[in-house]
Amino acid sequence: MAFNINGFNIFDNILFVLGNGEKIYFWHDKWIGEAPLKFSFPRLFSISSNQEAVVSEMGLWQNDSLFTWENGSLDQLLALLNSVNLCRSRKDKLVWKLATNGTFSVHSLYSCLINASTQVSFCSSSLWQGLLPPKVELLVWLACRDRLCCRGRLSSINIISPSQSGFPLCSDASESVSYLFLHCYHSWRLWNWFFSWWDLKFCLPKTVDALLNQWNSLYYGNFQRKFWLNLFYAIVWSLWLSRNDMVFNNKETDTISLCSLILVRVAT
């Protein structure tokens, strides 16, 4: 399995530190050398009688299945393992190389993904502020990345048929992230209802991340910044919940009721 974005592989930044050898897989984990041993010594892995063993379970090699010219691979493996010493009193440890303390964090991974990807254009400083529950921030992040499983996306990967890809509140277009949150008439009315508070005449952009970037230029001061960002999150979250109510419960919420609900969510 690989997780790769423009050359960034998450598994290249995970390091196993050997302790008692009870949690690290001998062949599959990268715990010694520059790659898992199954890739460094594929022939030895293919004839191993215990391919799923952890390090502590290994210790004996019977080379009856090796050809004479393959003994060199075994010698290399044994030389590599010669420096290994198990410590029975210490557990194996997984280290995240991108953090100074070795502990994984979403922030460190996200920073690397932002640096690795040339496709991300939205303002990352507006995300992961801890102003709202993580599930709300995650939803906004997915919306900015255009990665929510809307009907249009499900149809494009043949999960549902094209005839089922329409937006549940209206059948004018296939349901996409931008249509759901911005360009549907119901969503457009909702955004304009809040813009009217500040007497703003606003043209909604093409994508959610573009709107978030523009949104950040419309506040002044720290208090107003928190309120303004909370409002953005609350609108996106409420539109998503309203959409799900329509899809799964056949329950439609009118715009005025949704606006009132958003104000309650911002206030609390």
| The pLDDT of residue 120 | 45
What's the CA gap between 267 and 127, in Å, rounded? 20
Q: What angle do CA 92, 81, 99 make, to 5 degrees?
A: 40
| The pLDDT of residue 2 | 45
What's the CA gap between 66 and 52, in Å, rounded? 20
What spatial distance separates the first Cα and last Cα of the chain, rounded to whole Å? 42
β pairing state of 14-17 and 8-9: unpaired
**Tens-level pLDDT at each residue, the chain (268 residues):** 445 555 567 777 888 889 988 889 999 888 888 888 998 888 888 888 888 999 988 876 666 666 777 778 888 888 888 888 888 889 998 888 888 888 888 888 777 776 655 444 445 556 777 778 889 999 999 998 888 988 888 888 888 888 888 887 776 688 999 999 999 888 999 999 988 877 777 788 889 988 888 887 776 556 677 888 889 999 999 999 999 998 888 888 888 899 999 999 888 7
| The pLDDT of residue 126 | 65
Helices 185-195 and 222-249, axial angle in degrees (round to 10): 160
What's the CA gap between 159 and 152, in Å, rounded? 10
| The pLDDT of residue 220 | 58
Dihedrals φ, ψ of 166, to 5°? -70, 155
Q: Six-digit token pair at 124?
A: 């990352």
| Domains of the chain, residue spans | 19-91, 123-267
| The pLDDT of residue 119 | 46
SS3 state at 228: helix
SS3 state at 166: strand
Q: What angle do CA 263, 264, 268 make, to 5 degrees?
A: 120
Task: Mention every residue, 6+ apart, whose C-beta is less than 8 A from residue 3.
Answer: 9, 10, 11
pTM for the model stands at 0.55
Helices (H), the chain: 37-40, 42-47, 71-81, 106-116, 134-144, 151-156, 177-178, 185-195, 208-215, 222-249, 255-267
**In contact, 51 and 27? CB cutoff 8 Å:** yes
For residue 54, give the nearest of 78, 25, 85 by alpha carbon: 25
What's the CA gap between 170 and 175, in Å, rounded? 9
Task: Report the DSSP beta bridge partners of residue 9.
Answer: 4
SS3 state at 168: coil
| The pLDDT of residue 129 | 74
Helices 134-144 and 222-249, axial angle in degrees (round to 10): 80
**Residue 90: exposure state from Cβ atoms within 10 A (0-12, 13-18, ≥19):** exposed
